[in-house]
Structure 1
Amino acid sequence: MPRVLVIEDDEVTAREIVAELSVHGMTAEWVADGKEGLSRATAQGYDLITLDRMLPGMDGIEVVAGLRRQQIDTPVLMISALSDVDDRVRGLRAGGDDYLTKPFAPDEMAARAEVLLRRRQPQQNDTRLRVGDLELDLVRHVAYRKDQPLTLQPTEYRLLECLMRNSGQVLTRSMIFEAVWGFHFDPGTNVIDVHIGRLRRKIDGAGQSPLIRTVRGTGYMITSAPQNASAQP
């Protein structure tokens, strides 16, 4: 069971994070001070850290920078009430692995945590990604379904790579938008849905088992596993 250190000075937010992570099969410990958080993260082996940006004693940027100086590579999900792009960049440059702004949906936070944990798992040094009979050649930038090449536009390729690198994992629209387009998600845009639709028409052709699923109210995933009630083609 993954161990998560929650560094957050607001008790209500901290309890919300701990509760949501426990629902997703993680054990979370909470500290409310930046200096204590750094000390705990340094002395004990955690699989993930959620880190508030504004903390007493030592702020989140100082905490993550201190971890990286000590060669501690534990994934860090920074959580902040500051939503400007410059602060996000500072947090990621200091060593944060992802950045989530407050207020946030608990399932969005948990989804990001799961993705960071998945990235930490040992990866095979492979130049191809596979989901069922779908294959992505990372060197030639070519996709195949049942050994038949697919013609993808650059954005469609990046979108497919994002999904396949996290196969079996639900990705929220915000996570996809940041990974593929490189900036904050605009809830008023339908650009993700449009591109997913185009990708589906190329990937999930007539007579083929659908791989790209819509997870109602959350986002999308790609999987060859049997479909359940919450995921729809």
Structure 2
Amino acid sequence: MHLLVVEDNRNLVANLFDYFEARGHMLDAAPDGPTGLHLAGHHAYDAIVLDWMLPRLDGPEVLRRLREDGSDVPVLMLTARDELPDKIIGFRAGADDYLTKPFALPELEVRLEALVARATGRGRRRVLEVADLKLDLATLEATRGGRVLHLYPACRKLLEVLMRASPAAVTRDRLEHALWGDDPPDGDMLRSHVYELRRSVDEPFERKLIHTLPRVGYRIAELSAEGGDG
């Protein structure tokens, strides 16, 4: 498994790395909420272990933003908060499982393995499709009409967010957050990335799939000739 651990307790993180790496798993770590969001948005993890009490952005808010950005990666909340109302908050924010501290490392491992097996075996979308456009979430390969599209990482992330939401529109704020978290760059870099994405996805093809909604954002959809929004 490739895991992301979002936890500010360094001793706990060290214990997790020692245990899981010894069993052949790969781990990345984030010490606060914004860093966790950034890593989750730019890497394909099998599961995320998410603490509740985090600097700068707490666990439930990190989880809500992940789900708003279209991520369906399994998330296990790991926290000392063991009251039922806290668990309800966590699950309603989008958690797949909830484990309270203190805990046994083997239990955490089997819970994560179960989440990953369920996600990959039942219902987790591994290939996104809109018309003849496909994005394989396992290999990160994008194709249209069977032709491989060569995308920069930022364009590939934009494509994933737009395809997950299709045919609905995605606001500029959501797209910027998916790319840069809470620290977007100066200038209209989003427009530049959308332009590059269009060059790969639409320019070589007669039917356009990427559409601009003025003052709102963008969407990917197959529209009728009469219903296009440019």
Provide the TM-score with structure 2 as the length reference.
Answer: 0.52
Paired residues for 1:76-87 under 5 Å: 76-87=75-86
Match of 2:60 in 1: 61
Match of 1:107 in 2: 106
1:140-190 per-residue CA deviation (whole Å, 9 max, x = no partner) reads xxxxxxxxxxxxxxxxxxxxxxxxxxxxxxxxxxxxxxxxxxxxxxxxxxx
Unaligned stretches of 5+ in structure 1? Answer: 125-233
Offset of residue 22 of structure 1 = 2.0
Taking only the aligned residue pairs, the percentage that are identical comes to 40
Distance 1:41 1:123 in 2: 22
SS in 2 for 1:49: strand
Distance 2:21 2:114 in 1: 16
Match of 1:33 in 2: 32
SS in 2 for 1:83: coil
Offset of residue 39 of structure 1 = 1.0
Distance 2:122 2:37 in 1: 28
Match of 1:167 in 2: none
Number of positions where the alignment pairs a residue of Structure 1 with one of Structure 2:
123
Pick 1 or 2: higher relative contact order, CA cutoff 8 A, min separation 6: 2
Provide the TM-score with structure 1 as the length reference.
Answer: 0.51
Unaligned stretches of 5+ in structure 2? Answer: 124-230
SS in 1 for 2:90: helix
SS in 1 for 2:121: coil
SS in 1 for 2:112: helix
**Is residue 23 of structure 1 aligned with residue 8 of structure 2?**
no
> Which aligned runs of 4 or more in structure 1 are off by greater than 3 angstroms?
none
Distance 1:18 1:50 in 2: 12
Match of 2:115 in 1: 116
Q: Which amino acid aligns with 1:104?
A: F
Distance 2:105 2:115 in 1: 16
Match of 1:132 in 2: none
Match of 1:73 in 2: 72
* Mapped contact 1:5–1:50 kept (Cα < 8 A): yes
Q: Which amino acid aligns with 1:85?
A: L
* Mapped contact 1:33–1:55 kept (Cα < 8 A): yes
Match of 1:5 in 2: 4
Distance 1:123 1:74 in 2: 13
Match of 2:51 in 1: 52
Distance 1:107 1:120 in 2: 20
Distance 2:81 2:47 in 1: 22
Match of 2:211 in 1: none
SS in 1 for 2:24: coil
1:54-106 per-residue CA deviation (whole Å, 9 max, x = no partner) reads 10010000001000001100000100011101101110110010000011111
Q: Which amino acid aligns with 2:4?
A: L
1:168-226 per-residue CA deviation (whole Å, 9 max, x = no partner) reads xxxxxxxxxxxxxxxxxxxxxxxxxxxxxxxxxxxxxxxxxxxxxxxxxxxxxxxxxxx
Distance 1:58 1:65 in 2: 11
SS in 1 for 2:45: coil
Q: Which amino acid aligns with 1:99?
A: Y
Offset of residue 121 of structure 1 = 1.6
Q: CA distance change for structure 1 residues 96 and 123 in 2, over 3 Å: closer, same or farther?
A: closer
Q: Which amino acid aligns with 2:71?
A: I
